[in-house]
């Protein structure tokens, strides 16, 4: 068994060290589309992240030199900097253009991505035609869901769009203070969130118009607090990328749990970066797939939910984008909702499908706000109805009755760290209680020892258990752990879970860490849990390993420090 584990670990280390060694400087070409994506004379730039450079095997000195050079190069051209996602908005130099300057920056090898700060446009606009019914609610089983749950006034959902008619009878009782991200002002500071286009009012009603009030229409959830972020000051609704994404991050920072944006530009990396930031804040981000009938199979955002539009009859709406980059579908054809004139009208687009999905996600999560973003995503995704190939429809079309039922049935319990131990290296100090303690100075510490063919290795085992009071079927296991490297060299920190069927550890993830810094692992394991859970002891075993992929020289050290483990076990009744 030890030989099998060592082979697995050695393979993982080599892939981490050498997998990113080659750098390609392929020329990029951005092509604007009037009324869809237009140039603004600005770029959004993200330097290479430390973790990527550690995994390339760079030294601390090389990393710091490269990072300083990348940021200094942007200093004279930076208009705005967003530290939460490490993105710079920079001006294109006179005499250059978006494509030339983007390639100039990317060819330095110092940046993760460089893209235009596109002016994006709403991907579906309300019209004034009357429409007699909201056909989509029966399809997604909303009435059945409402028999169980209609939403909660303690739950806030947000829409990033063209503003909202604050006096609309189906919206006015739900509003919380909003934000104008184009001006960078909250309502309290004079930020205007009144709708200048009509798109934003329609979108807001799709997800959360007040229900059961004898008038108008109903959103997918009835009783949420609604936060609106106006990202445009243009009557046409066009908004810069950083206003859209910065507004979404503001919403997450200010209490919104689900946030959607119904704009073009879904396939650019910033949308994924913002989704990851929003998830780190304990919220979730949804973005429209687009109305250009494209196959979006060239990317997949890890944490942003991309929404396509379905039509009556559970077919793909003819205009909707599709493919492996689309997470799921929701109704988006002739969706009756609130309008800027105070009335109601239908509209079609992934702009409508996205807030419908937002409302369904909010309805599900508000059942149990103790669910983590991963927990509720897994419930929402697994509750979708299949309406065709996953290569087109992703997880399928949303079913809020199923997702609400699953949320009600979930029973998420906190687990315990029951043991820690040295796997590789030498014990320095610490105990089980130190691992669980939130004090940064209390931890379980191991110094490294050389491992032939691998490098200098320090590793610890951690066993998590769930309480005897747990009832139902275990559906997911989540563990959060912070590991740092108090030694003198950058390291790769890896996390594994023990598979009792194969008697080997399986890698769950890896992080690059500089000396004195730390990395947080947040894992949610929800498939084939029988491989990992020992039912007799109610336990899951993991291994955390710190590796310097070379023999240490004199004065160099490698040490692993583990703390902040917070396991959770979710059961379905």
Q: Which residues are designated catalytic?
A: 161, 199, 351
On the 0-12 / 13-18 / 19+ scale of CB atoms within 10 A, 16 is buried
Could you say which DSSP state residue 423 is in? E
End-to-end CA distance of the chain: 36
Q: How far is CA 152 from CA 142, 277, 364, 366, 369, in A?
A: 15, 25, 10, 6, 10
**H-helix or E-strand spanning residue 494:** strand 491-499
Query: What's the CA gap between 281 and 252, in Å, rounded?
Result: 7
Could you say which DSSP state residue 41 is in? S
Query: What's the CA gap between 219 and 335, in Å, rounded?
Result: 11
110's tokens? 């110092």
Query: What's the CA gap between 310 and 329, in Å, rounded?
Result: 6
On the 0-12 / 13-18 / 19+ scale of CB atoms within 10 A, 25 is exposed
Can you list the positions of beta strands (E) in 137-224? 156-161, 175-180, 185-186
Query: What's the CA gap between 331 and 354, in Å, rounded?
Result: 9
Query: What's the CA gap between 346 and 311, in Å, rounded?
Result: 13
- Alpha-carbon torsion, ordered 382, 217, 349, 197, to 10 deg: -130
Half-sphere exposure of 487 (CA within 13 A, CB side): 30
CB 524 within 8 A of CB 375: yes
Can you list the positions of beta strands (E) in 430-466? 444-447, 449-451, 455-465
Closest CA to 486 of 559, 431, 547, 380: 559
């Amino acid at each position: 068994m030890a030989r099998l584990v060592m082979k697995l670990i050695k393979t993982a280390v080599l892939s981490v060290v050498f997998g990113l060694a080659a750098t390609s400087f392929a020329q990029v070409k951005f092509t604007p589309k009037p009324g869809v994506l237009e140039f603004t004379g600005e770029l959004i730039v993200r330097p290479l992240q430390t973790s990527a450079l550690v995994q390339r095997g760079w030294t601390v000195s090389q990393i710091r030199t490269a990072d300083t050079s990348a940021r200094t190069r942007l200093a004279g051209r930076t208009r705005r900097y967003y530290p939460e996602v490490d993105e710079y908005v920079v001006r294109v130099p006179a005499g250059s253009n978006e494509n030339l300057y983007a390639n100039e920056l990317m060819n330095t090898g110092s940046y993760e991505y460089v893209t235009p700060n596109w002016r994006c446009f709403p991907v579906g606009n309300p019209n004034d035609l009357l429409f007699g019914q909201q056909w989509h609610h029966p399809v997604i089983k909303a009435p059945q869901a409402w028999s169980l749950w209609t939403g909660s006034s303690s739950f806030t959902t947000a829409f990033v769009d063209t503003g909202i008619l604050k006096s609309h009878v189906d919206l006015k009782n739900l509003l919380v203070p909003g934000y104008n991200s184009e001006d960078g002002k909250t309502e309290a500071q004079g930020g205007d969130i009144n709708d200048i286009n009509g798109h934003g009012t329609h979108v807001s009603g799709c997800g959360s118009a007040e229900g059961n009030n004898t008038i108008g229409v109903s959103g997918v959830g009835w009783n949420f607090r609604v936060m609106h972020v106006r990202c445009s000051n243009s009557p046409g609704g066009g908004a810069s990328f950083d206003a859209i994404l910065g507004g979404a991050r503001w919403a997450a920072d200010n209490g919104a749990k689900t946030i959607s944006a119904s704009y073009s530009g879904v396939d650019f990396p910033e949308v994924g970066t913002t989704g990851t930031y929003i998830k780190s804040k304990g919220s979730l981000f949804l973005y429209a797939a687009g109305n250009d009938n494209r196959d979006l199979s060239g990317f997949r955002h890890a944490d942003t939910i991309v929404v396509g539009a379905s039509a009556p009859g559970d077919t793909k709406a003819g205009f909707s984008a599709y493919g492996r980059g689309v997470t799921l579908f929701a109704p988006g054809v002739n969706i009756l909702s609130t309008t800027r004139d105070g009335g109601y009208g239908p509209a079609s687009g992934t702009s409508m499908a996205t807030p419908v999905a937002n409302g369904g996600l909010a309805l599900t999560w508000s059942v149990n706000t103790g669910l983590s973003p991963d927990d509720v995503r897994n419930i929402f995704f697994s509750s979708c109805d299949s309406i065709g190939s996953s290569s087109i429809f992703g997880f399928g079309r949303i079913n809020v009755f199923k997702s609400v039922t699953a949320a009600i049935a979930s029973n998420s319990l906190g687990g315990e760290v029951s043991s820690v131990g040295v796997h590789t290296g030498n014990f320095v100090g610490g105990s089980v209680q130190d691992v669980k303690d939130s004090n940064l100075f209390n931890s379980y510490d191991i110094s490294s020892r050389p491992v032939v063919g691998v490098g200098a290795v320090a590793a610890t085992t951690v066993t998590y258990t769930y309480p005897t009071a747990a009832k139902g079927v275990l559906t997911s296991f989540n563990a959060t752990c912070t590991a740092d490297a108090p030694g003198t060299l950058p390291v790769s920190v890896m996390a594994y879970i023990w598979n009792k069927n194969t008697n080997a550890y399986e890698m769950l993830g890896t992080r690059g860490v500089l000396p004195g810094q730390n990395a947080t692992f947040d894992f949610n394991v929800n498939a084939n849990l029988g491989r990992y859970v020992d039912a007799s002891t109610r336990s899951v075993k993991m291994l955390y390993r710190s590796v310097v992929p070379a023999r240490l020289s004199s004065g160099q050290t490698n040490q692993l420090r583990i703390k902040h483990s917070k396991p959770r076990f979710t059961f379905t009744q």
